[in-house]
Amino acid sequence: MFGNTRNGESWLIVGLGNPGKQYEKTRHNCGFRCIDILADMLGCKIDKGKFQGLYGQCSYNGKKLYLLKPQTYMNLSGKSVLQLSAYFGIPPQRIIVLFDDISLVPGRLRIRANGSAGGHNGIKSIIQELGSQDFPRIKIGVGAKEHDGQDLADWVLSSFSAKEEKLLAVSLKNAADAALCIMDQGIPRASSLYNGVTPEA
């Protein structure tokens, strides 16, 4: 399914989130917000509606790059990822996924080359659809639930405080830079630069 592309090396950066204005600023939509930052950085318009998603196409340092925001809602994100990556012949190792992580404090990132879903339904869907865990991912900290009895769905669909938004602004830019660094210099280099960095509040 994932053959060599005829036009050289192609990459896909996916941001996870839920479509709809009511979800724009929620914890679960950090991936979408990071894609918007990348689009601004690269002058890429996310205006093509296909593959059950919104995507844009641009280039970065001689590589063809696709930016994708699945429109399936979080739990079915993998369907959009599979459709686009199969169509353009992009293997899992060149699919970078940006998503929220409740085990990290706001402002903090964690970069991984592969791994399990870790309880994240969007990642679970991507693993299931691709049939592989071997895709790079950048986890964006959104903070843990405020108390044990709090419903997880309510928490990830809640908004950030003003203080958290300041931290998030830095980490979203770092996540965008880290994704491009993975493309250019590899996961170990990106990890050494961006893993565990926590901006000042």
Question: pLDDT (tens digit, 9 = 90+) per residue, 97-143?
Answer: 999 999 999 999 999 999 999 999 999 999 999 999 999 999 999 99
Beta strand pairing call for 63-70 and 53-60: antiparallel
How many residues are there in the chain?
Answer: 201
Whether the pLDDT of residue 198 is over 90: the answer is no
**Model pLDDT, residue 4:** 36
Whether the pLDDT of residue 86 is over 70: the answer is yes
Question: pLDDT (tens digit, 9 = 90+) per residue, 3-21?
Answer: 333 346 999 999 999 999 9
**Model pLDDT, residue 2:** 36
Q: What CATH class has 10-194?
A: alpha beta
Question: pLDDT (tens digit, 9 = 90+) per residue, 16-60?
Answer: 999 999 999 999 999 999 999 999 999 999 999 999 999 999 999
- CA-closest candidate to residue 39, choices 60, 16, 62: 60
**Global pTM?**
0.94
CB-count burial class (<10 Å; 0-12, 13-18, 19+) for 141: buried
- CA-closest candidate to residue 40, choices 164, 193, 172: 172
CA distances from 97 to 7, 18, 106, 116, 150 (A): 23, 15, 18, 13, 27
**Model pLDDT, residue 149:** 87
The catalytic residue positions are: 28
- Percent of the residues in the chain that have a pLDDT greater than 70, as a whole number: 95
Gap between the Cα atoms of 81 and 68, Å rounded: 8
**Model pLDDT, residue 201:** 56
**Model pLDDT, residue 114:** 97
